[in-house]
Amino acid sequence: MYTPKTINDIVFKSASEKEKITDIIQNNKPFPVSGVNGIILYGIYGTGKTALSKLLPDVIEKAKGGNSADARFVSCISGSNGLALIQDLSVQAGLVSLSTVSRYHYFILDEVDLLTVNAMTQLKSLMNIPSTIFIMTTNHVASVEKGVQNRSILVDFNAAPADQWLPVVHKVLANMNVTGVSDDALLKVIQTCNGSARQIVNAVTTIAVRRNRQSLRVVN
């Protein structure tokens, strides 16, 4: 199964949205700066938001001269992520990092819109703690508190054009030793998946499995 390992393995909606990330990791744009220390990846289900959120802490930290990031991943669950979680994160944010090279505490909040109302309000205050970076994903950006949005760079992660997926699906096919599938055929498959990375990779993997099965039948 295809798993993104670098930023270039992620398929963005557009070049301008990718630039928001690359400007940070290439130090073209100061971050954090002027009270902005969050990144919100928003869009429909399955487009790769969570995969990117897991890559960003180490990439950002290395861009700042560090090594491995001091990162914590939180999968938000409806009704279960309230003030106790925010208080726990606040305690961690106030501690000196156990890592001697990580300059920031990184908090990944997956599906941040599922925080309770009170927790969302407190998150805004938590983001004021120095040496913290928050990377958040959501399918419903309108449900994210305005103050949290104001402290963040928003990256539109809705469906990318089908042709942007061709380098990825070529890599998937190559990893499975499959050749000869036309781009036209691949584009038709990609378009049926409505931008979902999971569905695209699954559909292309199915094509590869069928091709390999046919090859075995010919050999036998």
Q: What is the CATH number of domain 7-156?
A: 3.40.50.300
- Per-residue pLDDT, averaged over 52-68, amounts to 91
What's the confidence (pLDDT) of residue 214?
Answer: 80
Closest CA to 91 of 103, 99, 83, 100: 83
- For the entire predicted model, the pTM comes to 0.90
Domain extents for the chain? 7-156, 162-219
10 vs 85: CA distance, rounded Å: 30
Does the pLDDT value for residue 219 go beyond 60?
no
User: Do the strands 105-110 and 70-75 form a parallel or antiparallel pair, or are they unpaired?
Assistant: parallel
Model confidence band, residue 102 (pLDDT cutoffs 50, 70, 90): confident
Does the pLDDT value for residue 30 go beyond 60?
yes
Q: pLDDT, tens digit, for every residue of 139-187?
A: 999 999 999 999 999 999 999 999 999 999 999 999 999 999 999 999 9
